[in-house]
């Protein structure tokens, strides 16, 4: 998969060199390009913003540097055979970023991110590229950040860990919160490791039983309990037939 990020703070994306994403890059599973938007400005001050039409506070990111940057980044990717691109526009007014969307994005060969600053990017830029490729306007939560770079890091990490070969154990996201299958729409319950007793606290007996059926049931019960406590909306959104008899007894 190829990822391109156009930003006025390329250094903000340095975490893409470490941990899971960094390793995926070194192993050739992910090709990441971070580009400084100011490279496509032509004035002495490398201006990327201007006052908003219609008045109001704040500044708006200008069309021209974004247009030139995206044209060049896209041309490079096409030349390198990156496949069909999709534009990912972080914005608090976008659709919520969910595991389902992470799965969808992970199936695309090439994502181009446009993290903004100030009051965002002149709308015409997004409308222009929407005529050429799918555009995902994505919000990582109901709050407003100063810029979209942190959102790019969040989205990239969620997407990268779904790519084949990135996680050491391909099974490890099977039981994650929100994973499709038996635990769909449920948050993951508590997890434990050695030692068996820590500061007088043991671990649930069932986890030592070696009985796979009982362990699976305990995990599902804990997931249901946790989801009911923290995210009752997920339970409400789940079709009644997704719950078995034991679920309903809880």
CB of 123 to ligand SAM, least distance (A): 11
Q: Is 52 in the site for ligand SAM (CB under 6 A)?
A: no
Nearest CB to ligand SAM, comparing residues 93 and 169: 93
DSSP labels, the chain: -EEEEEES-GGGGGGGGSHHHHHHHHTTS-EEEEEEGGGG--STT---EEPPTT--SS-EE-HHHHHHHHHHHHHHHHHTT--SEEEEEEEEEEEEP-HHHHHHHHTSSEEEE----TT-B-HHHHHHHHTTS-EEEEESSSS--S-SHHHHHHHHHHHHTTSTTTSSSGGGGTTSTT-SSTTTT--------S-S-BTTB---GGGGS--HHHHHHHHHHHHHHHHHHH-HHHHHTS-GGGS-HHHHH-
Considering beta carbons, is residue 53 or 143 the nearer one to ligand SAM?
Answer: 143
Catalytic residue among 25, 38, 108, 161: 161
Give the span between the Cα atoms of 48 and 42, in whole angstroms: 10
Check residue 91 for interaction with ligand SAM (CB under 6 A).
yes
Residue of this chain nearest to ligand SAM (CB atom): 148
106 interacts with ligand SAM by CB under 6 A: no
CB of 98 to ligand SAM, least distance (A): 13
Q: Segment near ligand SAM (CB under 6 A), from 3-11, 116-124, 164-172, 186-194?
A: 116-124
Catalytic hit among 176, 188, 221, 222: 176
Choice among 72, 92, 128, 225 that is catalytic: 92
Q: Does 139 bind ligand SAM (CB under 6 A)?
A: yes
Residue 78 tokens, joined:
């096409």
Catalytic residue among 36, 68, 119, 137: 119
Task: Identify which of 179, 175, 87, 100 has the alpha carbon closest to the alpha carbon of residue 136.
Answer: 87
Q: Is 88 among the residues that bind ligand SAM (CB under 6 A)?
A: no
Taking CB under 6 A as the rule, does residue 151 contact ligand SAM? yes
Whether 119 is catalytic: yes
Instruction: Closer to ligand SAM by CB, 5 or 183: give it.
Output: 5
Q: Does 90 bind ligand SAM (CB under 6 A)?
A: yes
Site residues (vs ligand SAM, CB under 6 A):
90-93, 115-117, 119-120, 139-141, 143-148, 151
């Amino acid at each position: 998969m190829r990822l391109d990020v156009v930003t006025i703070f390329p250094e903000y994306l340095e975490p893409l060199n470490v941990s899971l994403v960094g390793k995926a890059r070194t192993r050739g599973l992910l090709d990441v390009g971070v580009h400084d938007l100011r490279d496509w400005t032509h004035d002495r001050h490398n201006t990327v913003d201007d006052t908003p039409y219609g008045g109001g506070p704040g500044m708006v990111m200008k069309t021209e540097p974004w247009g030139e940057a995206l044209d060049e980044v896209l041309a490079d990717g096409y030349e390198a055979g990156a496949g069909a691109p999709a534009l990912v526009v972080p914005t608090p007014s976008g659709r919520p970023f969910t595991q389902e969307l992470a799965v969808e994005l992970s199936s695309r060969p090439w994502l181009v991110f446009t993290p903004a600053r100030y009051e965002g990017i002149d709308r015409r830029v997004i409308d222009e590229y929407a005529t050429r490729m799918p555009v995902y306007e994505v919000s990582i939560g109901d709050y407003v950040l100063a810029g979209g770079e942190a959102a790019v890091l969040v989205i990239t990490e969620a997407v990268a860990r779904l790519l084949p070969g990135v996680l050491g154990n391909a099974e490890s996201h099977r039981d994650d919160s929100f994973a499709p299958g038996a635990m769909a729409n449920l948050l993951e319950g508590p997890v434990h490791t050695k030692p068996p007793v820590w500061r007088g606290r043991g671990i649930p007996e069932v986890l030592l039983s070696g009985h796979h059926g009982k362990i699976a049931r305990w995990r599902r019960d804990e997931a249901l309990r946790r989801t009911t406590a923290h995210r009752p909306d997920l339970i409400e959104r789940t079709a009644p037939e997704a719950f078995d008899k034991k679920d309903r007894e809880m």
